[in-house]
Structure 1
Amino acid sequence: MNHSDVIVVGAGPAGCMLAGELARAGRSVIVLDKHAAPSPLSRAFGVHARTLEVLDSRGLAEDLLSTGAHAPGLTLWNGLGLDLGVLPSEFPFLLVTPQSNVDARLEQYARESGADIRRGVTVTGLSQNADAVVVRGHAADGVEQQWTASYAAGADGVHSLVREAIGLDFPGKELLRSIMLADVRLTDPPNGLINIGAGKDCFAFVAPFGDGWFRVIAWDRSEDADEHAPVDRSRLREVLRRAVGTDYGWTDVRWSSRFSCDERQVRRYRMGRVFLAGDAAHVHSPAGGQGMNTGIQDAMNLGWKLAAVLGGADEQILDTYHDERHPVGEKVLRSSGATIRMLLLRSVIAQTVRNLVSARVLRSKHAARAIAGMFSGVGISYPHARGEHALVGTRAVGIPLDRSTVTEQLREHGFVLIGEKDCAREDIAHRTDNGPAVLVRPDGYIAWAGRSESGQWQQVLERWTGQPCNNVNECSRIRMDGPPASYA
């Protein structure tokens, strides 16, 4: 009852995404979470384009899209705007929706895929040896239990017990203290964009949920209350006015809280048989709303690799999780940190230079598209080895096909082979442009590109999966072994 292929500690977005991916691939997974029920509260509020692409590849995006507002861009300091409509994605916007909606959707995905989620369990320790991981803890009744698995993942947040148990430091520093946030009803709201403003020694973000409620995040340099102290709502309203010049007709407040912001990242995402994902591996400023998104994408990268190794692939594949995702976390930390520091400039001269330089950069379509791609995750790609095609490690979702779409193909299969336009095979989809044949990984990134008749994709597939390619058709479309989820 207490043994599984993988134990996941933490049932937040990263933990449930990982559990769903593992269960979908036919692997047994137990998720342990100290909370008796999902939190009805929400700090994260934005789902970026790349995360929506990831969710859509599992049939999870459509319902979520109806729960919030589609913000087509961001209004920055000094009236500057960042247009997300330039994104080469089916989702050229930021979905503004409470994190509780994302949590609920991903937990449903994990459970219906076959994951065993056990709530009200406090994990107290973790150890590993050459063959297994042992996790210790107790349920609400206080009875001690232990669980064993081939691998474990810590998706248990910034104060991760898993990270502590495997002896990994969390180097970095505190960036901001006592950031205030609230869900507020506004009678004279801004337009549908994410609005960001900065005043003297303060800043504020305003984002629409699409139902008359708005997320307001604000910080004031003189505010130093404890993270757990209640928010003085009149104070928050006053900081909003100073930062953006108006309170937008502030009326009701349904929820408020505080948090502190650190910039930290572990040096390794893997230690033996244990992995870290989400806030357990990296935390950064709220600028750009990338925290939850990065964690979900961590899980998407790790899930299929763990499933492949459990199915017989070379364990060295698991090292590519750190190799691919650590640089992404580092880039997010740098970009969000730079954004928040630009908001905090105090000198009039520095602010003037910031405004001039930003305006010049954003006037360049190429630069604006690159910045939008960075914040949305659409611009993320993974490195490829010398001699591999330049497309290896890039997103495959935009490739035009003669039947269905890449996303629809990924809902039904693990790896997907797509033939070039003149490919003679009739059992696979073909490109309708002049690009090469590609082998697409389960997370939607390209594993190989070239001529389909060369057979090189078979060697790549064998390396990633550990499965011999005796039947070409069967190997090109490795099906998930798990129970058919309703999302497929």
Structure 2
Amino acid sequence: MDTDVLIVGAGPTGLTLAGDLARAGIRYLLLERRTDTANATRAFAVHARTLEELDARGVADPLIATGQRVDGVRLFGQAQLDLSGLPTRYPYVLITPQYQTERVLASRAGVTVTAGAEITKITQDADGVTAFLTDGRTLRARYLVGSDGVHSAVRESLGLPFPGRSVVRSIMLADVRFTTPPPSVLTVNAAAGAFAFIAPFGDGWYRVFAWNGDERPDSDPISLDEIRATVQRVNGTDFGMHDPRWMSRFHSDERQAPHYRVGRVFLAGDAAHCHSPAGGMGMNTGIQDAANLGWKLALAVHGHTSVLDTYESERWPVGRMVLRTSGALVRLAVVRSAMQQRLRTTAARIALAVPGVRHRGALTISGIGIGYGPVTRVPDRTLADGRRLYEVLRDGRFVLLGSPSLDVGAWSDRLTPVAAAPAVLLVRPDGYAAWSGATSDESGLRAALIRWCGSPVGSVASR
């Protein structure tokens, strides 16, 4: 084996996974076909659950320092989804360009990227995976993760379909300056048959996403006047847009692979699912894919392979939920008639006036409400020794809260015990509850430890 885990694609998903494997002491190689920094930043929103996961890796604060906080997500007209009441340390959405997220993730200890490495195909057998590169090299690994985007070579090599459709065609992108910058951190609005989104890079430049109802190929030329007219139509002003440094077109797809795992090969991020940009959930979903998968791969390398079965069963439904949510939002945003626009805005305002609907929407968009059936998110808390739970999670191990009657020393290489509660709570490295029960429930805790952490050290099964 050249390595334990081969990661293909060094975007936010691949970087998160590489950092988690490095933290666990697992050998990995992170391949990226690009040799330069692409100007493809489309993600500006970092949601609350992603910030929690980054907090558990010690990099939330450096990322927060690069951006601006927004307490709500504006949907249509005056309809806004308030995030300030979320039960989290991060009751907002952080606005920062994707390259800042990638920079912070790449700064973690042990993260290295092999640039200019492109695969052509992969094969696998009972013992591992072989990747064939364009330069003639082959690499052999126990496991391989494709985080190589919408046009994933890994997914194509597996022969997996990527069913779905283009939702919006000919979305215009531009990096511009403004004579009179927008007054809000985010400027999002829609008119009949048009929408515009404006987000700051933080250095005087702004990224504009605009759509005017055209169905033109991505290769068609684009002019600043076309973008300016769309922004003017939607907002009543173009904010003095000038000096574009880059312009392009793209189309927004909704697609999801039918499986996230085939044998020893896994898909994560846009290679597994792609969504409309509405709601800003795409990059966040990919980072959370990696947070779910990394510790499971680490355990599998050490022999506890059955835990890998939970990756697809947990993350595939989340991808489907995000696809449907973002799809509904973008379809409402691109209604073409003035009557439809008025009905949409009125319906959104009425729905968000209902506390339960508003709270549910905030939980969904932020990711705070994501769970895996009985496996639920554990909020951060201050422990008896003064530390926060998510600070303890930074070593990538399970955390056992409480004082169980069962001696857990046989799992001490994977587990950090903290006497902090009258009951017992086993927290996974990704901040989700693996098990909870009474201090006297030795059989229940033992079963949970074996299921999630693997066999105890010294047992027959672990040798």
The SS at the match of 2:298 is helix
Unaligned runs of 5+ in 2: 409-415
The SS at the match of 1:416 is strand
Deviation of 1:304 after TM superposition, in Å, equals 0.7
**Alpha carbons of structure 1 residues 106 and 130: separation in structure 2 relative to 1, 3 Å:** same
Matches within 5 A, 1:241-390: 241-313=232-304, 315-384=305-374
The SS at the match of 1:215 is strand
Matches within 5 A, 1:143-222: 144-222=136-214
Residues 1:35 and 2:3 aligned together: no
Deviation of 1:379 after TM superposition, in Å, equals 1.2
Residues 1:118 and 2:114 aligned together: yes
CA RMSD of aligned residues (A): 2.4
Post-superposition CA distance 1:292-345 (Å, at most 9, x none): 1111110111111111111121x2321211101001100010000000111122
CA contact (8 A) 1:74 1:195 kept: no
Matches within 5 A, 1:61-72: 61-72=60-71
Residues 1:233 and 2:229 aligned together: no
Aligned to 2:453: 465
Unaligned runs of 5+ in 1: 385-392, 472-488
CA contact (8 A) 1:6 1:149 kept: yes
Residues 1:395 and 2:377 aligned together: yes
CA contact (8 A) 1:74 1:82 kept: yes
Aligned to 1:129: 125
- Write the letter of the residue equivalent to 2:339: I
Post-superposition CA distance 1:269-299 (Å, at most 9, x none): 0011100001101011110111111111101
**Alpha carbons of structure 1 residues 246 and 120: separation in structure 2 relative to 1, 3 Å:** same
**Aligned counterpart in structure 2 of residue 443 of structure 1, from 409, 412, 430:** 430
Cα distance between partner residues in 1 of 2:449 and 2:199: 43
Deviation of 1:251 after TM superposition, in Å, equals 3.7
The SS at the match of 1:7 is strand
Aligned to 1:417: 400
Aligned to 1:480: none
Deviation of 1:86 after TM superposition, in Å, equals 1.7
Post-superposition CA distance 1:244-268 (Å, at most 9, x none): 2222333443433322111100011
- After TM superposition, the structure 1 stretch with the greater mean CA deviation from structure 2, 331-340 or 396-405, is 396-405
- After TM superposition, the structure 1 stretch with the greater mean CA deviation from structure 2, 227-236 or 161-170, is 227-236
Cα distance between partner residues in 2 of 1:129 and 1:324: 25
The SS at the match of 2:180 is coil
Aligned to 1:477: none
Cα distance between partner residues in 2 of 1:184 and 1:420: 58
Deviation of 1:17 after TM superposition, in Å, equals 1.0
- Write the letter of the residue equivalent to 2:237: T
- Write the letter of the residue equivalent to 2:145: A
Post-superposition CA distance 1:46-76 (Å, at most 9, x none): 1111111111100111111111111221223
**Alpha carbons of structure 1 residues 349 and 147: separation in structure 2 relative to 1, 3 Å:** same
Cα distance between partner residues in 1 of 2:75 and 2:450: 48
Deviation of 1:437 after TM superposition, in Å, equals 2.6
CA contact (8 A) 2:143 2:265 kept: yes
Cα distance between partner residues in 1 of 2:174 and 2:244: 7
Aligned to 1:430: 420
Cα distance between partner residues in 2 of 1:71 and 1:231: 31
- Write the letter of the residue equivalent to 1:276: L
Deviation of 1:400 after TM superposition, in Å, equals 4.2
**Alpha carbons of structure 1 residues 191 and 87: separation in structure 2 relative to 1, 3 Å:** farther
Cα distance between partner residues in 1 of 2:266 and 2:161: 14
TM-score by length of 1: 0.86
Aligned to 1:80: 79
- Write the letter of the residue equivalent to 1:359: R
The SS at the match of 1:30 is strand
Cα distance between partner residues in 2 of 1:212 and 1:64: 19
Post-superposition CA distance 1:66-123 (Å, at most 9, x none): 11111221223221211121211111111111111111222232xx22x553111121
CA contact (8 A) 2:68 2:185 kept: no
- Write the letter of the residue equivalent to 1:441: R
Cα distance between partner residues in 1 of 2:449 and 2:287: 24
Deviation of 1:413 after TM superposition, in Å, equals 4.5
Cα distance between partner residues in 1 of 2:24 and 2:280: 30
The SS at the match of 2:352 is helix
CA contact (8 A) 1:134 1:147 kept: yes
Cα distance between partner residues in 2 of 1:76 and 1:429: 44
Deviation of 1:211 after TM superposition, in Å, equals 4.5
CA contact (8 A) 2:351 2:358 kept: yes
